[in-house]
Structure 1
Amino acid sequence: MQRPLADEIRPKTLDEVVGQKHLLAPGAVLRRLIESGAEANMVFYGPSGTGKTTIANIIAQRTNKTLYRLNATTASLQDVKDIIADVGTLMAPGGILLYLDEIQYFNKKQQQSLLEFMENGSLTLIASTTENPYFYVYGALLSRSTVFEFKAVPPEETETAVLRALDIEKGRSPLPLTWEEGVPRQIATACGGDVRKAINAVELLCQAAVPRDGQLLLTRNNASQLAQRSAMRYDKGGDAMYDLASALMKSLRGSDPDAALHYLARFLEAGDLVTPCRRLLCSASEDIGMAYPQAVSIVKACVDTAMQLGLPEAQLPLAQAAILLATAPKSNSVVEGISAAWADVKAGRTGDVPRELQNVHADSTGMEREQGYRYPHSYPGHWVRQQYLPDPLKDVKYYHYGDNKTEQAARAYWEKIKGPEG
C-alpha cells in the first residue's frame, strides 16, 4: 500500500521544516535546545499542520530515550500507567520520551500521573495542543515545561512544501505530470497556513487529475474546488473563535470598517451568526454608547433581521451594522461609568438609600421625618437639586461626558440648567 504523501514528505531535519522561523532559525532558542540534545519538557501550542509532530519526531531521533506516542483523544489513564511501568526497565533503559498529542483532552488526573516521572527525569514530555495551554494544561505540568508557540505557515513558505510534494507525485505518476501556472501558490494560499492540508490537497488533486494528450494536467479550477473553504480556521468555542471575536470587536472600536467586514465575513463563512451578533450588540454600547445612542436600536434591528433571514441573506444587515459601528463616533463613557460604579459596590462602598428616595410607604411607619422627596417635574427645567447617592458617596462622579458632539450637547444643556457644578 502506498504511503500517504504527507507522511512520505515529512521533514527529517530542521532545515527541511517550512515555517516557524521564530523557533527554528539559526540561533533560535528551540533550535539550540534540539541541536544541543537538551532533554527538556516542552508544550507545543499552535494550529494543526504547522510542524509540531514533525519537530517532536526530529527531537526523538536525537535522544537515546525510547519514544512513545499517545493521542489524548483516545488514550486512557491505563495507557499512561503502561508507559510509566516501562521506566527503568530494559524496555526503556535510557528513559522515556513521551509525545502526547492533543494534551487538552487529558483530564487533571491523567496529567498529574506524569508529574513524578517528569520531576526525576525518567520521562521527558513533549505535548502538543491546538488550544491555549494556559487554559487547558494543568498548572503543575506547565511549571515543569517550556511552552513554544507555533504559527500558521505563510503561503510563500507553504509553497515550498507544495512544490516538493509535486516533485514526489511526478515520480509516482504513471503519466507525465504538469500543472497550470499559479497552481502551487493557489494551494498554498487556500490552505490557511496548514502544511499538512496543503500536501493532502496536492495528493487529492493528482489522484483526481484527468489524462489529457498523454499527460496529467493539474488545473487552477480543480485546485480551487479541492481547496475551497480550507483557509478557514474555526472551532466553535475554541481559540480561533475567540480570536476572531476579539479581532472583530477591536476593529469596530478602531473605526476600521474594512477589517470589521473581513472578520465578519470569516464568521459568516464558518456559518456562525451568534458570535458576531453578540459582538455587534456589545460594541454598540461599549464603544459607541452615548456618542450615538441610536446605534443600539439600529444594531438590534439588524441582528433581529439577520437571525430571521439566516444565511446567506443575513450577511447584509450584519454588514450594515458593522459598517455603522465602525464609522460611528466613539465614546466609552458608558463602560467607564458603570465600571466605576460597580467597583464601588464590589468594594462595599454603598451606604443607605437617602431618605428622600425611599419608597413612599415609609412615611406611614412613624419614622422621624417625612420623606421630603422633591418631584423634579414640578420645577423649572424639570430639575431640582437634591441628593440621590448615599451619604458616603454623595460627591462621587461616575459618568463623565465624552468629547463627542452628542455628549457635549447634553453637557451644555445640563450646565445651562444645573450650572457648571451640577
Structure 2
Amino acid sequence: MEPDLFTAAAEERQEKDPSASPLAVRMRPRTLDEVVGQQHLLKPGSPLRRLVGEGAGGPAGPSSVILWGPPGTGKTTLAYVVSKATNKRFVELSAITAGVKEVRAVIDGARRATGGFGKETVLFLDEIHRFSKAQQDSLLPAVENRWVTLIAATTENPYFSVISPLLSRSLLLTLEPLTDDDLRGLLRRALADERGLKDAVALPEDTEDHLLRIAGGDARRALTALEAAAGAALDKGETEVALGTLEETVDRAAVKYDRDGDQHYDVASALIKSIRGSDVDAALHYLARMIEAGEDPRFIARRLMISASEDIGLADPNALPIAVAAAQAVAMIGFPEAALTLSHATIALALAPKSNAATTAIGAALEDVRKGLAGPVPPHLRDGHYKGAAKLGHAQGYVYPHDLAEGIAEQQYAPDALQDREYYTPTRHGAEARYADAVEWTRQHLGRKRS
C-alpha cells in the first residue's frame, strides 16, 4: 500500500470527526497565509510562494527545498501546505526510521503516480541530517529528474550535515524561532477556531504567559499543552484554564520570573555574581530558573561571554573560547539541548580562577582618554608608507623588535603624557601568574620607570 493512502485516510477521518485528531494536527495551516511566523519567507513573490504557484509565471525554482530551523517552527507544516496548494501527493518519511529501501519505494511510487495518474509527489523527509552520505546520495536521481518535490527538514546546519550535490540543487530556507507574539496568536486562534476548541474554555493572562514559557518557541508543544490543560479544565466543569490546572497538567510549576521586568535582571545578575563568586551550585540554580522560565538561550550565552572576560580574563584563557563556543552551539541547536551547553559553560566559568585585571585595565585606559590624556603618537611609530613621510621624520628611528635577540626593543611607545602609565595589574591567580611575570619582565626591558 502506498504511504499517501494512509495520509488520505487520516485526512478523511479528520474531516468526518475533527475532534479525533490532536489539536496540533487540527490547527495545521492549510494555506501559506495561515502559517504563523516566518514572515521573511512569506512575502509576496518569495521563492516559497512561487513554489506553490503564486505570482506571475506560476511555480518556479528548484524542485528540492531544505528547511533549516529549530523544532516546532513549522517545517512539516510548510511541506504539507506546499502539497495541498499544488494538489500533489504528500508522503512523509523520517530519517530516524527510514533508509534507502524506503526512499526508493517512495520514488518508485512517485514515478508510477506521475505516469499513471499524472499526480506529482511531495516527499517530506524529516531529520535529513541523520541520513548518511550514501543515503543522501540515493535522493539525487529523484531530485535531478524532478520525480518528486523533495522538502527536507533539519535542525542542524545543512552546510555541515547535507551533502554538497544535494545542497547545490536545493533552495535553502532558514526558519526563525517563533516569538511569543507568534505563539500567542496561534493559541488564541486555537481557542476560538471551529477546528480548535470553539471557545469552550478561556485562557487567563497568567496561564497564557506560563504556557508560552513552557512552549519554548515550539508551536506543537504549545498546542499540545493547551489541549491537555483545556481537557483537564473541562473535566472539572470549569470554563477557564486556571494556572494551577496548567501546572498540574504539564507537571511544571510557574517560575516567578518576568522576562521584561525586575526578576529578569535580578536573576541574570545573580547568575553572573554567583559565577564571579565561584559558587557553582548557586550559578546552576539561577541558570535553571532562567531556562525553566523560558529565557532566550542566546541572552544567557551573551552574559556568559561577558563574564568570561569581565571576571576571569587571563586567569583562565580558555574561559572565553568556552563561552563563545557555547554561544555558537546554542544558536545552532536551541532548547532543550542548549541547556546542556549552557550548563557546561556555567560550570567551567564558575570553577575557573578569577581575575578582573583586564576589566580594570581597559577601564583605567578609557578614563585617561576621556580626561584628555592622549597626546600625539611618537614620530618613530607613525606611518611611514607614503611619499614625504621621511621628510616629516615619521617612522624614522623605529627599532624593529624582531631584529633583536630578545624580541623586545627599548623605545617609547606611549605618548609623552602617558609613557609611565601602567594600566594592567595582573593577579597571581591561575594562568595569569605567567602574565604577571611577563609584564614585569617586558616593562623592565622597555626601560619603563617604576611607579
TM-score range normalised by the length of the shorter chain = 0.5 to 0.7
Q: Is 2:43 the partner of 1:43?
A: no
Q: Is 2:137 the partner of 1:119?
A: no
Could you tell me how far apart the structure 2 residues matched to 1:215 and 1:170 are?
A: 21
Give the AA of the match of 1:414. W
Displacement of 1:331 in angstroms is 10
Q: Deviations over 1:85-134 (max 9, x none)?
A: 23543455354321111111111111101112211222321100112212
What corresponds to 2:122 in structure 1? 97
- CA contact 2:229–2:246 (8 Å) conserved in 1: yes
- CA contact 2:276–2:350 (8 Å) conserved in 1: no
What corresponds to 1:202 in structure 2? 226
Give the AA of the match of 1:209. A
Could you tell me how far apart the structure 2 residues matched to 1:89 and 1:219 are?
A: 53
What corresponds to 1:83 in structure 2? 106
What corresponds to 2:425 in structure 1? 406
- CA contact 1:162–1:198 (8 Å) conserved in 2: yes
Give the AA of the match of 1:152. P
2:246 to 217, 223, 228: 223
Give the AA of the match of 2:126. D
Q: Deviations over 1:9-39 (max 9, x none)?
A: 1111111111111111345443344324235
- CA contact 1:256–1:327 (8 Å) conserved in 2: no
Q: Is 2:2 the partner of 1:2?
A: no
* SS across alignment from 2:67: strand
Q: How does 1:315-354 map onto structure 2 within 5 Å?
A: 318=347, 321=350, 329-330=358-359
- CA contact 2:203–2:241 (8 Å) conserved in 1: yes
Which consecutive unaligned segments of at least 5 residues does structure 1 have? 232-247, 271-275, 298-313, 333-390
Displacement of 1:160 in angstroms is 1.2
Which consecutive unaligned segments of at least 5 residues does structure 2 have? 1-18, 255-267, 278-282, 293-299, 320-342, 362-401, 414-420, 427-434
- CA contact 1:256–1:326 (8 Å) conserved in 2: no
Q: Is 2:154 the partner of 1:140?
A: no
- CA contact 1:68–1:97 (8 Å) conserved in 2: yes
* SS across alignment from 2:96: coil
- CA contact 1:169–1:206 (8 Å) conserved in 2: no
Q: Deviations over 1:287-308 (max 9, x none)?
A: 9544xx38999xxxxxxxxxxx
1:190 to 200, 214, 218: 214
Give the AA of the match of 1:196. R
What corresponds to 2:131 in structure 1? 106
1:178 to 190, 197, 202: 202
Mean Cα deviation higher: 27-36 or 2-11: 27-36
Q: Structure 1 residues 419 and 12 mapped into 2: Cα distance closer, same or farther (>3 Å)?
A: closer
Give the AA of the match of 1:37. P
Could you tell me how far apart the structure 2 residues matched to 1:289 and 1:81 are?
A: 55
* SS across alignment from 1:164: helix
Could you tell me how far apart the structure 1 residues matched to 2:173 and 2:355 are?
A: 35
Could you tell me how far apart the structure 2 residues matched to 1:287 and 1:46 are?
A: 34
What corresponds to 2:31 in structure 1? 13
Q: Is 2:49 the partner of 1:31?
A: yes
* SS across alignment from 1:84: helix
Q: How does 1:155-170 map onto structure 2 within 5 Å?
A: 155-168=180-193
Q: Structure 1 residues 295 and 51 mapped into 2: Cα distance closer, same or farther (>3 Å)?
A: closer
TM-score for both structures, normalised by structure 1: 0.59
RMSD: 5.1
Q: How does 1:266-285 map onto structure 2 within 5 Å?
A: none
Q: Is 2:287 the partner of 1:265?
A: yes
What corresponds to 2:296 in structure 1? none
Could you tell me how far apart the structure 2 residues matched to 1:168 and 1:3 are?
A: 15
- CA contact 1:280–1:322 (8 Å) conserved in 2: no
- CA contact 1:68–1:96 (8 Å) conserved in 2: yes
Q: Deviations over 1:153-200 (max 9, x none)?
A: 111111111112222589768x95334344334323431111111100
Could you tell me how far apart the structure 2 residues matched to 1:90 and 1:295 are?
A: 61
* SS across alignment from 1:405: coil
- CA contact 1:295–1:325 (8 Å) conserved in 2: no
- CA contact 2:312–2:353 (8 Å) conserved in 1: no
Q: Structure 1 residues 38 and 216 mapped into 2: Cα distance closer, same or farther (>3 Å)?
A: same
- CA contact 1:72–1:100 (8 Å) conserved in 2: yes
Q: Structure 1 residues 183 and 85 mapped into 2: Cα distance closer, same or farther (>3 Å)?
A: same
Could you tell me how far apart the structure 2 residues matched to 1:118 and 1:22 are?
A: 26
Displacement of 1:45 in angstroms is 0.8
Displacement of 1:5 in angstroms is 0.9
Q: Structure 1 residues 323 and 396 mapped into 2: Cα distance closer, same or farther (>3 Å)?
A: closer
Displacement of 1:46 in angstroms is 0.8
Identity of aligned residues (%): 35
What corresponds to 1:56 in structure 2? 79
Q: Structure 1 residues 87 and 5 mapped into 2: Cα distance closer, same or farther (>3 Å)?
A: closer
* SS across alignment from 2:177: coil
- CA contact 1:162–1:188 (8 Å) conserved in 2: no
Q: How many matched pairs?
A: 314
What corresponds to 1:368 in structure 2? none
Give the AA of the match of 2:26. E
Q: Structure 1 residues 395 and 226 mapped into 2: Cα distance closer, same or farther (>3 Å)?
A: farther
- CA contact 1:170–1:177 (8 Å) conserved in 2: no
